[in-house]
Amino acid sequence: MGRKLALIATYSLVLSFLLAGCGVQSSKPNGLSAPKATSTATSNGNQNASQTDNTIYRVPNSCKLEGVNAAFAKIIPPSKYIATKWQPAPGTDLYAAINGGGIACSYGDQEAEVGGTILWASNKNGLWDSRVAQWQKDGMVAVDIPGVDETAAYKLPEGATSADNLPAWRVNLLIGDLWIQLGAAFIQSWDEATPIINAAIAAAK
Average pLDDT over residues 53-79: 94
Residue 6 has pLDDT above 50, yes or no: no
Predicted confidence (pLDDT) per residue in 127-178, tens digit: 999 999 999 999 999 999 999 999 999 999 988 887 667 778 999 999 999 9
pLDDT digits (tens, 9 = 90+) for 109-139: 999 999 999 999 999 999 999 999 999 999 9
Q: What's the confidence (pLDDT) of residue 14?
A: 40
Would you say residue 191 has pLDDT above 60? Answer: yes
pLDDT at 25 over 90: no
Average pLDDT over residues 61-71: 98
- Give the whole-number percent of the chain exceeding pLDDT 90: 65
Quick one: three-class SS letters along the chain? CCHHHHHHHHHHHHHHHHHHCCCEECCCCCCCCCCCCCCCCCCCCCCCEEEECCEEEECCCCCCCHHHHHHHHCCCCCCEEECCCCCCCCCCHHHHHHHCCCEEEEEEECCCCEEEEEEEEECCCCHHHHHHHHHHHCCCEECCCCCCCCCEEEECCCCCEECCCCECCEEEEEECCEEEEEECCCCCCHHHHHHHHHHHHHHCC
Q: What is the pLDDT of residue 66?
A: 97
pLDDT at 192 over 70: yes
Is the predicted pLDDT of residue 182 greater than 50, yes or no?
yes
pLDDT band at 38 (very low <50, low <70, confident <90, very high): very low
Mean pLDDT of the chain: 80
* Cα(148)–Cα(171) distance, integer angstroms: 13
Residues in CB range of 121: below 8 A, 6 or more apart: 59, 96, 97, 98, 100, 101, 102, 103, 127, 178, 179
Contacts of 108 by beta carbon, 8 Å cutoff, 6+ apart: 10, 11, 72, 76, 79, 80, 82, 114, 115, 116
